[in-house]
Amino acid sequence: MGLRSALRSLLLFIWISEQWAKITADNCTNYRLQFERVFSVPGDVAMLNSTLVSPDVFDYKTVPYNITWWNLKTGQEMINQTDKVFVLRETMWFLNVTLEDDGEYVTILRTPCHCYMQSTKLLVEMPASGECGRPQKAYQELTKGVADTLNCPLMGYIKKLHSYNISSSISWYKGCDLVADGTDKYTYRGQTLLSFDMVDSHDDGYYTCTLTFSLGGFRGSVSETIVAPVIGLNFFMNPSKFLVTMECRIVGSNFTKKCLVFVPGPGMSFVDVTWSAGKDYILNTQPSERIYTSGQRIWTQDDPKGFWFETHLSFTELRDEDFNINYTCRAHSFRGYPEAFFTLVPADPNIILPIGCVLGGVMVLFIATVTVYYIFRVDLVLWFRRAFPILYANKDLDGKVFDAYVAYPQQYAFGFREEVEKFALQTLPQVLEKACGYKLFIAGRDCLPGQCMVDSVEENIQASRRFLLLYTASTFISHRHTSSTSNNNNIFKSDDESVDAESKMCESSTDFDSGGYTDTRQHLECVAAMHRALLERSLKVVLVELEEISSDQLSLFPESVQHLRKKQGAVCLWKEFKTRQKWRTLLMTRKDEGLRKDSLLSASSCSSSRFWKEIRYHMPVRGKRVAYPEKTTLLNV
């Protein structure tokens, strides 16, 4: 028994030596083992690709060549084997990997006058029991709170198959569960990407992508697993404490500058904060040195969760050579190297305000100017428009018919309120149309119920320069589906695929949603406008908030509205009345002469109140189109 197997190994050894002698006798240039190992598991497809066919090795475009693959373990040439091995030029495929396939494989490339060889290693491992992924894992991070993607590391396979004119399909798994394409969270993008709508901490985990294809009549697949930890946003330097600055100092004085870095995220991060003078790192940490850095101080913060890193740069005595150099504080981490710097400017001890300090003053002044602009921007812009109409292009030629499309909850829809309708149908046209000369499209006025269907809503929105979305706290708040509302939804679903796809933008975040804007026309208006505003960016949506919204109520709003409100803010009517009565009571008493005293509707309302100013600020510029009808008295109408 022992003898026979020993004899067999001996024969095998002799045979391999012979084969090997043949190969080496050819005086092949040996490129040795490829650095890239191929990892696989039993049952998968594995591709071994030789890199000898490259311009670095020989002129493969003009010189003819033959390639053979050899198994170093058995000394045999690798040939096509049904459902097992497929050899095509510089690439060898194991169609159904087994543990025995583990080993080194040699490629021999012969041209008429030369020979090249290279070996490639295949490592076959058993997956851990109970684990769906692969033992070898790639590492990709997901950033919390934003949209992010994972990239399947199988592009090499896809490209190779593509060069054979073979198509392949990819599917993603989280742990063992299939991640379906096009669910509210995940989308398959491009050839290899899995994109996340918004990453949250539950997305942490193992993701496996599986590529399936047919090769040589065999249907197989190959998988890769990615470890995807969810991490906090990129860190930032504390801007209030560390700006790009100039410091005025006197030669001979001492000086210390603090660098603070904040790294958001729950886990401890490995961050090194360094100082450099020009290009040279300051490595001294001893206070006995003239220039030194303090050790790194670290502490945590709870809200938002994260870590602070602090390092000081100190000069015990400033000298001439220390001035006019960039001192850079840099945070080193695997996420990047953000940095900030300052420069020292010599201050003449005899002059009280040296140049550098004046420059510092200029910066402060600049910040103040920016702030002033932000506070008074509405008035400034309106004044500018009136003072220099010539500067603004005439909008009449842009092919639009209306200045704004006005949307509000309609009668019979949930969230409908009489006072809102009054505001939309009476107050708004009185001020914007009669006093300010804008042309509005108001659905409840300009088209009859039942007339405003998909096409006309789309058309009219397209013909408008702005979209005014009026809402109150209850406008988007949900109520349970009734049979009639679900019927309505179905109509729109079958009507237009794209409306359906985007409709989730206008649905509130709760499960049983069907708020005022999720039914019938309002829903369409909202969907079409949000689509244009957020995806195409071709329409400006102005949010008009009629009553104060608490953060609880806001969280029930459709995500698109929440997003827009956060991004550009809303024009708030309720702010006008906060100190006075409730706007609702005011509007309700319109019939009774109470309105005459109401500044909201006074003759000069087109320019006077903050609310209308803000609306006009958001409305398109009217250029030189009409004389300014500011003096129109509208209460006689």
Ligand X SMILES: *[C@@H]1O[C@H](CO)[C@@H](O)[C@H](O)[C@H]1NC(C)=O
User: What's the min distance (Å) between Cβ of 343 and ligand X?
Assistant: 7
For 560, left (φ over 0), alpha (ψ -120 to 50), or beta?
alpha
Torsional sign, CA 70, 76, 77, 80: negative
DSSP 8-class letter at 619: S
* CB of 37 vs ligand X, minimal distance in Å: 13
Angle between helices 520-530 and 559-568 (to 10 degrees): 50
* Element (DSSP H or E) covering residue 78: none
Map the footprint of ligand X across residues 238-297, applying CB under 6 A: 253-254
Spatial contact of 550 and 529, defined as CB atoms under 8 Å apart:
no
Minimum distance of ligand X from residue 27's CB (angstroms) = 3
The DSSP letter of residue 128 is P
**Residue 50 found at the interface with ligand X (CB under 6 A):** yes
Element (H, E) at 237: strand 236-237
Structure tokens at 503: 């409709």
- Residue 54 touches ligand X, criterion: CB under 6 A: yes
**CA–CA separation, 532 vs 541, rounded Å?**
9
What are the C-alpha distances in Å from 536 to residues 350, 518, 543? 61, 21, 18
CB of 369 to ligand X, least distance (A): 23
**Torsions phi, psi for 463 (to 5 deg):** -85, 5
Residue 212 interacts with ligand X (CB under 6 A): yes or no: no
Q: Which is nearer to ligand X, 53 or 572 (CB)?
A: 53
- For residue 91, report the phi and psi dihedrals to the nearest 5 degrees: -125, 135
- Rounded Cα gap, residues 429 and 440, in angstroms: 7
Nearer to ligand X, 65 or 235 (CB): 65
Q: Which is nearer to ligand X, 156 or 304 (CB)?
A: 156
> What is the identity of the amino acid at 215?
L
Gap between the terminal Cα atoms of the chain:
115
In eight-state DSSP terms, residue 279 is T
> Given the complex with ligand X, which of 90 and 519 has the nearer CB atom?
90
Task: Figure out which of the listed residues 79, 365, 463, 626 binds ligand X, where binding follows CB under 6 A.
Answer: 79
Q: Which is nearer to ligand X, 110 or 439 (CB)?
A: 110
**Which residues inside 145-164 make contact with ligand X, applying CB under 6 A?**
156, 159-160
Binding ligand X (rule: CB under 6 A), the pick from 5, 62, 129, 165 is 165
Member of 44, 90, 101, 419 binding ligand X (CB under 6 A): 90
Q: Quick check: 598 binds ligand X (CB under 6 A)?
A: no
> Which of 30, 51, 294, 599 touches ligand X by CB under 6 A?
51
- Taking CB under 6 A as the criterion, which residues in 104-143 touch ligand X? 110-112
3-class secondary-structure state, position 345: strand
**In the complex with ligand X, which residue's Cβ is closer, 359 or 463?**
359
Task: Determine, following the binding rule CB under 6 A, whether residue 96 of this chain makes contact with ligand X.
Answer: yes
Binding segment (CB under 6 A) for ligand X, from list 48-56, 330-338, 602-610, 613-621: 48-56
Size of the site for ligand X (CB under 6 A): 34
**Residue numbers at the binding site for ligand X (CB under 6 A):** 27, 43, 49-54, 64-66, 79-80, 83, 86-88, 90, 96, 98, 110-112, 156, 159-160, 165, 253-254, 316, 324-326, 341
